[in-house]
Chains A and B, each alone.
Chain A
Amino acid sequence: MRERLSVVVAGDVDCGKSTVVGRLLLDSGTLPRGRLERARDLCAKEARRFEYAYLIDALRQEQADNMTLDVARVFLKGARRDYLLLDAPGHFELLRNMATGASHAEAAVWVVSAVEGLGENSRRHGRLLSLFGIRQAVVLVNKMDAAGYDRGAFERLARGCLNLLKSSGVSKARCVPMAAFEGENVVQPGLRMPWYRGPTVLNAIDEFDPEPPDSIRAFRMPVQDIYPGVRRDAGRPVIVGTVESGSVGVGDEIVFYPSRKFAEVRSIETYPRIGLKRAERGMAIGLTLDRLLKPRRGETAARAREKAPETGRKLLASLLWLGPSVLKAGGRYFFRLGTSKIPARLERVVRVVEAATLRGGAGRRDVRPNEAAECVLRLEKPAVFDLAAENPSASRFVLVDGSLIGGGGFVRAVIC
């Protein structure tokens, strides 16, 4: 079975993002038969110009507005593996959907227009990719047809994009000049840019690294639930969860944080299979212990012999706030990390990193929707986590405003 990598497709509205994806599907031979004809017929019936974007922009409202409204999941066949493309919207108001897409992706395709260049909104997309953990990207300089397939124009824009990505933490990046509507450099090498000798879009995507193995990091398993025991095991409660990082084996001594209760792993429970000796990252398992211990949902299991997780009530965090209301100093929220959910107060806005308006920076007491910021959070009870620099998957959190997720980010440091 082929591997699959999740890739977020980001870019400003009008950069031709959905056209890029539509064209990729068509030229790679991924599209179901009849889909192209159906989209063409629909356009003809409604007397509109055909767009490749209609192949994926399935919802009625978007077809009417010519705009992608939410993350669409599109499957793409590459030469080396398959892809799940998360086609995120470019419109400023819909940043929450792009962030959602980026948080589920292992790499990014960032589309910029050779005509419009790097506008403020486009820069924002580039910078936000790293905020959600993206470390590798391909920049597609689209609409080269409208820029006369000019090498100088491409190189200037490419330099700007690569600098921006590097400075925000995307360590592996390259640029491809292309014209999606014309099919130049999408899957087949283009004919109109003989000066470009690099890979096509699909080849560049095939060069992404798969998710690295996680043997180096310490074992972390947020407790999801406690299930009553199975009969053959004398009703010993089963502590269920998914291994977030590292691995755990039968006989390991484990510690639950923050209660610091410890026990030895007696068995790893999966159904109907029995006798599993070791569980690695990503596995949804159950543990039984050598003593009667009932940790609660929200606690995190770690191995006694490995590095202990951090605990703290006052944290420095970087986050993206998506609203709908304003995140205010003094405001009350729920902090959720792993399986824990802790009442929290936003103590202080340290600085707004990426402002929606030009009046950002220090000295602000609130974070408006679509702004990225560094903040100090004070929690009612200690949280258990790792720092973003050491173990990102155990450092990410969301803030719940009322009943819905309003933003999310990473824990950078413990203050106390």
Chain B
Amino acid sequence: MIRHMIATAAMLAALAASTHNAAAQDTFPSKPVTILVPAAAGGPSDTVARLVGQAMSANLGQQVLIENKGGAGGSLGTGQVAKAAPDGYTLLLYHIGVSTFAALYPALPYKPSELTSVGLVTEVPMTLVGRSDLKANTIAELLALMKQPGTSLTIGTAGVGAVSHLCAQMLEQATGAKLTKVPYPGSGPAMTDLIGKRIDLMCDQTTNTTNQIKAGEIKAFGVTTPKRIAILPDVPTVDESGLKGFEITAWHAVWAPKGTPEAVRVRLSQALQVALKDPVVIERFAALGTVPVEPTEATPAALDTHFKAETARLEALLKTAN
């Protein structure tokens, strides 16, 4: 009942917000909406998309289909959305990686300006973790260990361009210490080697680390968010432990092809905001160690600002690294 009321309110708000393109507004959506995830089914982004898509479909009154198209770090599928008809029926849901495509792939099949924002979805916190027998228990001790002459700690990443890789780069930049980055074809095998004590460190999303931290199989040094997180209340932030301003999250967002009518974008953003209030979404996000963003963030304007800032920051990071 309440969900219904919110849905109605959202619909009304969307109507009020639209100043032009009333025709599209009245009829949208008149057929199922497809959200493309440019990564394999079953991965963290796919999970986020399926949860949000399900909740959005209740609000839109149309089915929301999830399509997976992996390849080239996600840039292939992203390009497909950029080139799709700008009618709001083909959307992209992906993460921070979209900010790095232009820097990483010289042969990018689209221009970043060919995407237009719908809204942010969630910012998944990252955790800096280490093997259980590492001779450091706090960030300060870890920094001392990293800076010992002749040492180069190994840090597992899920491959070039992955969030775990970006975090490792940031850690090198912030500390000035040299790390040996060990790429894996995904977080799973990297975690195997961390539990098996074959690598020293990893910086990965809470989704992939929380269970292992709680089971005592790996050591948590810090979370990469500005504030501590509910699922790991005893783990300090990296920022409070001495690396001021060290912040990175695996943020997820929804985009549409450029040229999508303003009214349709607003309608989609409204549906997204309603979906992010859905109790099932909140509950399942909690199991992933994250929370939905505030409604004010699930808007085109907020994503525009965020995307621009992250792209600038990460392109600079990748440039200094290579």
A and B from one complex = no
Task: Please report A residues at the B interface, Cβ cutoff 8 Å.
Answer: none
